[in-house]
C-alpha cells in the first residue's frame, strides 16, 4: 500500500487499483503467436454464408448479414486496470471496446458490461465508479449499457460486449487493402510506454493527462470512413502494436506493408520513455511473436523498435485508402478531432510482411 495516492489515483484511495492486477489495458492480451496457436485447430464453425467476418483474419469484430441492407456487428473486449482512478479505468475500457465497431465501419447500438472483481479487496464505491465511467463513455457514443454479467475474480476486470450495425457496403475489414494504398494512423503511439512509467510512478502529470485523453477519445470517425469508397481497409491498433496490427493487414491482404518510422505520430514523452527503458512485457512478447515477418533497417535501435511493438490501449485506426485521396482524408480526420493523425506508409505488391524504413 501507498501512504498517499499516486498521480491519477482517486483522492483518499487506500491503495493503487493497478496493484491488484498483474498487467493492464491491452497489454494483457495474449501474444499474437499464442493466439494463433490456440485458434489453429478450431473448427470453421460450419457453412454460415451470412457470416461475413469471422476469425479468419483476426479482424476487430464479427459481422453477420441480416438482410440486404443490414449487418450486425458483434465484439467483446475487457482487461485489467492500467490506471488507479476507477472512473477513468471504466472510461478507458469502454472506449476500447466500442472501438471495434467503429473499426468495422459500423455504428454502435448497445453494450453489455463484463465485470470481474476481487470481493473483499475493492470497496463497493470503487466498483460503482468503474461502472459509471463505462456508462459515461457509452452515453457519449449514444448507446445504453443494457445489462451484463459479473463474477468474483482474483483481479479486477472490466469491459463491454458491444453490438453495432452497418450496411454491407460500409463494412471495412482488415484484409481488403490494395497495392498502392496509402496508410493513415489516427492516434499517436506510446500508451504502453506511458503505462509502464505510470506503474513506476515516473509519469509526469501532463503526460498522464495526455494518456487519458488519447485512450478516452472514441474512434467514431470509423463510421464515416466506412462510407467512403476510397477507404479500402480499416483496423484499430491495440495490444499487438502498430507492427502487429499492420502485419495482420499485410497478411490478410497478401501484400507488403511499408512503414515509415519517421512519419509515425507519438505521444510527447514516448521517445524519452523508450530511450529510458520504460517498456512493457507485452512489447517484448509482441516482437518475439512476429519479428521474423518484419524487416528493420540495419542500424535501427531497440528503443525505436519498442515504439513499434508498444501495446496500445484504445489506440487509433489504421486506414488503407487510395493514395490520391490520402491528403483530403487526413485533413478531414484531423478536423474531426484527431490532430495527431498522419500518413505513415503504403501497401505494395510482395510477400506478406512489414518493411520498416526511417
Catalytic center residues: 26
Closest CA to 248 of 199, 289, 203, 214: 289
| Residue partners of 158: CB distance under 8 A and separation at least 6 | 78, 79, 81, 89, 90, 93, 113, 114, 115, 116, 130, 131, 134
Distance between CA atoms of residues 321 and 230, nearest Å = 6
CB 57 within 8 A of CB 65: no
Q: Please provide residue 321's backbone torsions phi and psi, each rounded to the nearest 5 degrees.
A: -140, 165
- How many residues appear in the chain? 358
| Residue 17 CA from chain centroid, whole number | 21
Give the bridge partners for 161, in sequence order: 76, 112
Amino acid at each position: 500500500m501507498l501512504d498517499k495516492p499516486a498521480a491519477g489515483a482517486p483522492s483518499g484511495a487506500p491503495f493503487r487499483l493497478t496493484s491488484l492486477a498483474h498487467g493492464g489495458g491491452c497489454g494483457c492480451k495474449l501474444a499474437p503467436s499464442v493466439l494463433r496457436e490456440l485458434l489453429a485447430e478450431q473448427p470453421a464453425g460450419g457453412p454460415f454464408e451470412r457470416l461475413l467476418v469471422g476469425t479468419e483474419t483476426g479482424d476487430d469484430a464479427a459481422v453477420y448479414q441480416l438482410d440486404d441492407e443490414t449487418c450486425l456487428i458483434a465484439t467483446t473486449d475487457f482487461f485489467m486496470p492500467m490506471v488507479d482512478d476507477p472512473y477513468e479505468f471504466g472510461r478507458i475500457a469502454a472506449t476500447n471496446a466500442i472501438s471495434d465497431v467503429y473499426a468495422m465501419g459500423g455504428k454502435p447500438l448497445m453494450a453489455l458490461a463484463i465485470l470481474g472483481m476481487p470481493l473483499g479487496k475493492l470497496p463497493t464505491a470503487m466498483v460503482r465508479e468503474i461502472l459509471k465511467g463505462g456508462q459515461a463513455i457509452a452515453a457519449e457514443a449514444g448507446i445504453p449499457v443494457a445489462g451484463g454479467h459479473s463474477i468474483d475474480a482474483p483481479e479486477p476486470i472490466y469491459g463491454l460486449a458491444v453490438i453495432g450495425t452497418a450496411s454491407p457496403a460500409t463494412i471495412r475489414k482488415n484484409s481488403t487493402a490494395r497495392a498502392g494504398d496509402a496508410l493513415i494512423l489516427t492516434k499517436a503511439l506510446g500508451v504502453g510506454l506511458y503505462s509502464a512509467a505510470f506503474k513506476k510512478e515516473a509519469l509526469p502529470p501532463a503526460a498522464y493527462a495526455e494518456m487519458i485523453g488519447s485512450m478516452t477519445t472514441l474512434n467514431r470517425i470509423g463510421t464515416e470512413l466506412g462510407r467512403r469508397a476510397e477507404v479500402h481497409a480499416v483496423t484499430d491498433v491495440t495490444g499487438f502494436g502498430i507492427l502487429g496490427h499492420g502485419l495482420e493487414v499485410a497478411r490478410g491482404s497478401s501484400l507488403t506493408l511499408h512503414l515509415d518510422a519517421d512519419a509515425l505520430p507519438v505521444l510527447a514523452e514516448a521517445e524519452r520513455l523508450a530511450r529510458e527503458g520504460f517498456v512493457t512485457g507485452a512489447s517484448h512478447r509482441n516482437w518475439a511473436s512476429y519479428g521474423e515477418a518484419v524487416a528493420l533497417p540495419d542500424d535501427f535501435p531497440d528503443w525505436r523498435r519498442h515504439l513499434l511493438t508498444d501495446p496500445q490501449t484504445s489506440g487509433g485506426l489504421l486506414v488503407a485508402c487510395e493514395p490520391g485521396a490520402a491528403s483530403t482524408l487526413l485533413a478531414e480526420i484531423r478536423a474531426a478531432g484527431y490532430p495527431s493523425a498522419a500518413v505513415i506508409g503504403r501497401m505494395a505488391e510482395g510477400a506478406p510482411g512489414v518493411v520498416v524504413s526511417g
